[in-house]
Amino acid sequence: MAIEVNGRTIATTDTGYLENHADWNEDVARKLAEIEGIELTDKHWDVINYLRDEYINNGQNQPMERVVLKDMGKMWGTKPTSKDLYLLFPLAPTKQGTKIAGLPAVKRKGGY
């Protein structure tokens, strides 16, 4: 599979994740979000950039939801609830957010 962004063809897996996270940029994220039916807000970008930073700069870490909640609370000044994150990414913040962030699919089971 593939997506077209700004005249470039970018390879994706059968489930819509980028095959190469280095192909990601904000336009790619917007296209992936459009496919997922999500209109990106500043809070979406906060989560997306956090997930990318954790993966790229922290040993390919893909944090569980409770860690994302804790770290977004530090960033936003108030701790969000799971519901808050699911309002942003209805199909699971750490899975759908990871997809839009251009990162590999999360392999762990569970995830609170």
Q: Domain residues for 58?
A: 2-101
Domain count, the chain: 1
pLDDT tens digits along 19-54: 999 999 999 999 999 999 999 999 999 999 999 999
Assess if residue 112 is contained within a domain.
Answer: no
Residue 112: predicted pLDDT: 47
pLDDT tens digits along 56-95: 999 999 999 999 999 999 999 999 999 999 999 999 998 9
Instruction: Give me 63's structure tokens.
Output: 């944090």
Assess if residue 109 is contained within a domain.
Answer: no
DSSP letter for each residue of the chain: -EEEETTEEEEB-TTS-BS-GGG--HHHHHHHHHHHT----HHHHHHHHHHHHHHHHTTT----HHHHHHHHHHHHSSPPPHHHHHHHSTT-HHHHHHHHTTPPPP--S---
Residue 107: predicted pLDDT: 79
What is this structure's pTM?
0.93
Assess if residue 110 is contained within a domain.
Answer: no
